[in-house]
Amino acid sequence: MSATAPAPHAGTGSFDISGTAPIPLTRLVGVELRKLVDTRSGRWLLIIMVSLILLGSVIYAWATRDGSVDFFGFTAVAGNITGILLPVLAIMSVTTEWSQRTNMATFTLEPRRVRVVAAKLVATVIAAVVSVAVAVAIGALGAALAAGFGAQVDWDPNVEGILGFTLLQVISLLVGFALATLLLNTPAAIVTFFAYYTIIPGLLLLAGAYFSWFEDIRPWIDFVSASGRLATGFDGVEWGQLATSGLLWFVLPLVLGVARMLRAEIK
């Protein structure tokens, strides 16, 4: 049996999908997960990321050989690296569809764009959770290496810290995903992501130092600072700060970006 693509309406370029069955979401998610790793850029990014994690773990193990170290410290070393590089992978999962013009094939096979966006979003979250599992595994190897060097290792897994760390990784990837949907351009999204995490928090901190009235509202709009406290624990006020700043810096760009992807012209 041969599959037929939905036919476009005359003069509109839109597809008539009334008679076509949707592709199962699980299959779409599997395709998007495979796209994260089966491109040359994706593979090299993963190779570089793993190499940096291993190098960082060895350096940390050697630096702490004469003292004491905890297991979660090695997990944090790995997580700091994945938190920087994995969002780039999430960005490319969205933007390469438009820069390499594969969106024509993607949206022909599945004209319901919202399902494609949802599959990309789910694949991004899965990648974040997997990255935490990898960070914990490499953290265990790093802790064992430190013990071999002579350090006193505290093997307490710090479950609360790992849960907060997992949320932080998911948020980081989702921010990259949101910026990618908004800009649909790889270099622009990557530059904006790093500016968002490095330059904007500094500017907000500087503004708070010069304007006392702004310092009172800064915690409510500084999403990087608010989400960074996930690994150390939150109280009620800090959860409110995370929610309000997240609406500004994550939810709003994501809503606007998804709306743009659903309406953007395919060329």
Residue 232: what pLDDT? 66
Which amino acid, one-letter code, is at 58?
V
- The string of pLDDT tens digits covering residues 21-64 is 778 889 999 988 888 887 788 888 888 888 888 898 889 888 88
- The string of pLDDT tens digits covering residues 111-170 is 888 999 999 999 988 988 888 888 888 888 888 888 888 888 888 877 877 888 888 888
- Helices 113-149, 25-37: crossing angle, 10 deg rounding: 50
Integer Cα distance of 220 and 229 in angstroms? 13
Residue 13: what pLDDT? 44
Residue 238: what pLDDT? 82
Biggest distance spanned by C-alpha atoms of the chain:
74
- The string of pLDDT tens digits covering residues 169-197 is 888 888 999 999 999 889 999 999 998 88
136 φ, ψ to 5°? -65, -40
pTM of the model: 0.81
Residue 1: what pLDDT? 40
Residue 181: what pLDDT? 92
Confidence bin at 72 (pLDDT 50/70/90): confident
Residue 11: what pLDDT? 40
Q: Please state, as a whole number, how many other Cβ atoms lie within 10 Å of the Cβ of residue 42.
A: 18
- The string of pLDDT tens digits covering residues 210-238 is 988 898 899 899 988 888 777 666 667 88
Integer Cα distance of 138 and 186 in angstroms? 29
Write out the two tokens for 63: 């630096």
Residue 17: what pLDDT? 55
